[in-house]
Amino acid sequence: MQGQTPPLFRRGPPAEVRLAVLVVLALTLMLVDARMRVLEPVRRAVAIALYPFQRVVLAPRDLVEQVDEWVNAANLIRQENEALQRQRIELAQVSTHAQQVATENAQLRRLLGITEHTSEPTVVVEVFYEPPDGGGQQRLVFNKGSRAGLAPGMPVIDEGGVVGQLVRVTPMTSEAALLTDDRVSIPVQVLRNGLRLIAFGTNTPGQIEVRYLSANADVRVGDVLITSGVGGFFPAGLQVAKITSIDRNSASGFAQAMGEPLSHPERYRHFLVLQVDVGKATKMQQEEGDDN
């Protein structure tokens, strides 16, 4: 033991020699493997042995990628659903608007057909807004006024018949009292026999009243009332209402009839105003009042 060199100071081949040997060995193995593939089984065994460790090391990355893909897929699905919902709403609006335009066009064509059967000039008006129901009054405000040649007293009609009468006119707008407004009264006659009557509004939607009937007046349920032309404001021959009920009081000798207007102001936006000579009609009424 005393004659041996301590392991710490034991000397071996020089480091350069060992490096050269290792380089030659590596080159030899590379050449042999490139030509004969003798190390392929060893490489496969090493790869199989290292695969579990590779999966463990790459697991956090794979988890982050999966979570990111899931979040992106969820966002994409939500965006697609929102786009589809927006598209459905837009298509529904387009379809509804197209149906509304088609309905309005059909109604306008019917209104234009009315002008062929009346001698008075007409003005097409559109509902601007409907005033709140104050005191039972039933009114419509239109988008045209005196600048379009309108004046208070002119009748408003649709394809069903009389809608009402203008009661207030400004340069740009006009207000009409509907046929069922209690401020409106129209001279009418029974289409079946020509009996002249007067129809009054009742402030009840869908109802008018025929007053001052004798108990034996020839009026029946189902009779159609048309304008008689008396008074000059409403031209003769316009449909007004259909009689729905008659209350005959034999004790008083009078009868009362209720009717349903044939016009439909609640359904449409466009109407015709007949430009009758309001001044002439007013003068006629004054003369009749003086005679009475």
Give per-residue pLDDT as tens, 225-258. 999 888 888 888 888 999 999 988 777 778 889 9
Question: Is residue 39, in this structure, part of any structural domain at all?
Answer: no
Sign, CA dihedral 186-190-191-195, equals negative
pLDDT at 35: 65
Question: Is residue 97, in this structure, part of any structural domain at all?
Answer: no
Question: Is residue 182, in this structure, part of any structural domain at all?
Answer: yes
d(CA 39, CA 5): 40
Question: What's the chain's length in residues?
Answer: 292
Question: Is residue 197, in this structure, part of any structural domain at all?
Answer: yes
Pick the more confident residue, 111 or 129.
129
pLDDT in tens, 185-229: 899 999 999 899 999 998 888 899 998 888 888 999 999 999 988
Q: Which residue has the tokens 């003086």?
A: 290
Q: Tell me, what CATH number does 230's domain have?
A: 2.40.10.340
Pick the more confident residue, 65 or 283.
65
Question: Is residue 265, in this structure, part of any structural domain at all?
Answer: yes
Question: Is residue 210, in this structure, part of any structural domain at all?
Answer: yes
**Per mean pLDDT, which range of 44-53, 108-117, 118-127 is the poorest?**
108-117
Question: Is residue 107, in this structure, part of any structural domain at all?
Answer: no
Give the count of domains, the chain. Answer: 1
Question: Is residue 126, in this structure, part of any structural domain at all?
Answer: yes
pLDDT at 165: 93
Task: With 0.75 as the threshold, say if the pTM is over it.
Answer: no
* CA distances for 192 relative to 127, 219, 239, angstroms: 34, 9, 13
Domain that includes residue 129, residue range: 122-291
